Amino acid sequence: MEPLTGIVVLGAAAGGFVQGLSGSSFGLVAMAVWAWSLDPVLTGPLVVFGSLLGQILSVGAIRRGFDAGRLLPFVLGGLVGVPLGVLLLQRIDPLVFKLSVGILLAIWCPMMLLARDLPRIVRGGRLADAAVGLVGGVMGGLGGLTGPAPQLWTTLRGWDRDAQRAVFQGFNLAMHALTLASYAVAGTISGQALRLFPAVAAAVLIPTLVGVRLYSRFSDVAFRRIVLWLLTLSGVILIATTLPKLL
């Protein structure tokens, strides 16, 4: 196995396991391995492909909590937000944006973990949910970060673990499918990325299914803590991968 392929397999396996367990965070976990060796032009399609495949493999985990009416506002907001985020790329430095998100997650999520009782947001209805989807879409267009906004929001909504996962996994699946289709239409998927897709698929398969099996053993409280810990880790990874480039 070539060194590059080995790195891709390692990152995809780690990301697949975390995504199977939590329903999200494939890209941030995989990027913790890939960011040091792979060209950003290559990592974008690999992250989207691996995340989308992992979400499809673990879609059975969201059956109990799936509610199309609850998910739809997020997706509609995201569909508007993604192109807005792409437009903002011309005015905002993506590295500064990712660093800012990383700092926010690394500070805010541990505070939520330490809090005895998390605040619960019951107002706003579907309009607020759509606004969060819009934010997630913009963050996805700017830096591929579709997950953090709906993850934090569903946690603050106080929904049970199945409802939370159904929303942010369904949202991410829709956004990544749109992104991958956009890549294909724009011709931005390189031949090297296409050659690495089978390695990503093979690496994601078993770890994702193992993660899904473990997910069923967690309570609502334990799942909420897992999500917050993963978001904290995501923040640390974003800081570690962007700050050296800015300096």
Mean pLDDT of 71-86: 90
In the predicted structure, residue 92 carries a pLDDT above the cut 80:
no
- What is d(CA 228, CA 136) in angstroms, rounded to the nearest whole number? 17
Q: Across the chain, which distance is largest between two alpha carbons, in Å? A: 53
User: What pLDDT does residue 127 have?
Assistant: 94
Q: What are the CB-based long-range contacts (under 8 Å, 24+) for 167-170?
A: 167/65, 167/70, 167/71, 167/74, 168/23, 168/24, 169/23, 169/24, 169/55, 169/58, 169/59, 169/61, 169/62, 170/62, 170/66, 170/71, 170/74, 170/75
User: What pLDDT does residue 202 have?
Assistant: 95
Q: How confident is the prediction for the chain on average, in pLDDT? A: 85
User: What pLDDT does residue 71 have?
Assistant: 94
pLDDT digits (tens, 9 = 90+) for 168-208: 899 989 988 888 888 788 787 888 889 999 999 999 999 99
Q: Do residues 13 and 207 lie in contact, with contact meaning Cβ atoms separated by under 8 Å?
A: yes
